[in-house]
Chain A
């Protein structure tokens, strides 16, 4: 059933983008690229006796897909840095806890800083994560679950 769903998705993808190219919709050229790349990959997998291990597939994976995905994920570092600059502020309510937590975790994760800090600091970090952070996390999860439960019951009884 799963394989059928994947096949159906591929057929649907092709149908949608072929229609967009035929109608000359906005950004139809992107659709053309999608169709072209899909055709190349499918053909490479079907024609090459190596199947999934086809060199063409490996090349597409190693030099197109992998760098593209990694590049998109790497962008999060930039946005995290910008968010840290703008929002990790001591003056905000609870900001001191956030800043202290971020600084401790960053320092203990920084290989160069290990020699500068007492050996107890990593143990403190582990304790912080195990005790207060985990307690808060579980409290939030339990609270969310209870709120969902209550909302569901209210919804079922028409009390929204």
Chain B
């Protein structure tokens, strides 16, 4: 079969390939000078007219000199890479002077094994210089197959994630995925089903929440506010919690909101949340009118982030998109991903200077913290903590349904994170105990 055989996984690749199409290994790694068998490279680099590189005396130039034994496995072999495995492409640069072989064993044994093609090939009698007909000679073992070779290479791989499965001792307690999944499901599910009516624990007031509340509270009645709705139902479990108090506060401030979303299901997600927030502040018959008074437009904009610069300035493009070219008093970005907030801060905020309040997931908060510190964000509300802290700042007292929901969320978060911590510690403890046992057994 034509092509280059990957020294790592055995896949046949095109002749002109540099890297394996399956595992990404360098197909020319054994062409590099002194990659693993310096003695072989040194021998190949010598010419009849020139002494060995680095050999000042020329004493080693004698062709009768026996090959240096391989530092790791001294089996009296000739260097395996002296056998041509495949045609090598012409070298673009002159070969570097080969270093002298290091007689001391190299500590990184796995690297030598992995990067030395041929070491894992079947050993032939002619390589071992053994007479196969000698008395007492056992019959030759079958050559190592591709799967076995791959297994051995993984076994000695310096990458722990590759070698982990194979290098674990047999006594390792194999906590299968299903048990881990069960622990997480129970840790979250039981508190959701049997949580108390009152929230347990306290809320951490992170920087940015009070400032976000103050920015909304300072809006004059009828102020134009734009909400960049950058989340959908996939992340609504967390983001609805963040968005609800902010939207409720906008209702209280009697703002006029234009919602824009780059997600197809963004407007429907916004509709749903606004209805919910309106029902919290007004009786059911009036909630629809409250929601209608709040939302002037709810738009899905196609074109991705490229459309965002069109939302700035008093331009015709902006007027045609938003129905109005008037300046916004405040921009609220509700996003699960920090990149959406960054897109707004980079593409819109510098052009129109509107203060920005961000409501994000807890995962996005670390990245956005720097924008808060630099003053590019006027307020930052993130995660369960931020949402509940913002809710506490609203003047309206909690309803029973809200209190129960908050209790469920906080309790599930407590136990879920405790389970996460426990699994991390358990993994480390078992790794320590069973590795120690394996060392003692050696």
Is B73 in contact with chain A by the CB < 8 A criterion? no
Question: Is the Cβ of B362 less than 8 Å from the Cβ of A109?
Answer: yes
Residues 357-381 of B, flagged 1 when their CB comes within 8 A of A and 0 if not, give 0000010001101100100000000
Write out the residue numbers on chain B whose beta carbons fall within 8 Å of the beta carbon of A102: 424
Question: Is the Cβ of B180 less than 8 Å from the Cβ of A130?
Answer: no
Distance A84 CA – B428 CA, assembled complex (angstroms): 10
Question: Is the Cβ of A106 less than 8 Å from the Cβ of B421?
Answer: yes
Of B46-54, B135-143, B232-240, B394-402, which binds chain A? B232-240
Distance A126 CA – B435 CA, assembled complex (angstroms): 36
Distance A58 CA – B271 CA, assembled complex (angstroms): 10
- Known A85-B427, A99-B428, A130-B369; judge A111-B202 contact (CB<8 A): yes
Write out the residue numbers on chain A whose beta carbons fall within 8 Å of the beta carbon of B206: 122, 126
Write out the residue numbers on chain A whose beta carbons fall within 8 Å of the beta carbon of B185: 78
Question: Is the Cβ of B237 less than 8 Å from the Cβ of A70?
Answer: yes
Question: Is the Cβ of B265 less than 8 Å from the Cβ of A61?
Answer: yes
- Known A69-B232, A111-B200; judge A74-B271 contact (CB<8 A): no
B422 vs chain A, min Cβ distance (A): 9
Find A85's partner among B188, B418, B424 (CB 8 Å cutoff). B424
Question: Is the Cβ of A78 less than 8 Å from the Cβ of B180?
Answer: yes
Residues 69-104 of A, flagged 1 when their CB comes within 8 A of B and 0 if not, give 110111001101110111111111000000100110
Distance A81 CA – B301 CA, assembled complex (angstroms): 36
In the complex, the chain B residue whose C-beta lies closest to that of A105 is B366
Interfacial residues, chain A to chain B (CB-CB below 8 A)? 1-3, 5-6, 52-53, 57-58, 61-62, 65-66, 69-70, 72-74, 77-78, 80-82, 84-92, 99, 102-103, 106-115, 122, 126, 129-130, 133-134, 137
The 6 A-B pairs at the shortest CB distance, nearest first, are namely A2-B302, A111-B201, A66-B233, A112-B201, A69-B234, A69-B233
A and B contact pairs by CB, cutoff 8 A, 6 listed: A73-B235, A107-B421, A112-B200, A112-B414, A114-B201, A130-B370
Interfacial residues, chain B to chain A (CB-CB below 8 A)? 160-161, 164, 175, 177, 180-181, 183-185, 188, 199-204, 206-207, 232-237, 264-265, 267-268, 271-272, 301-303, 362, 366-367, 369-370, 373, 383-385, 410, 413-414, 416-421, 423-424, 426-428, 431-432, 435
Further contacts, 4 of them, CB under 8 A, given A66-B236, A126-B207: A70-B236, A73-B235, A81-B180, A115-B201
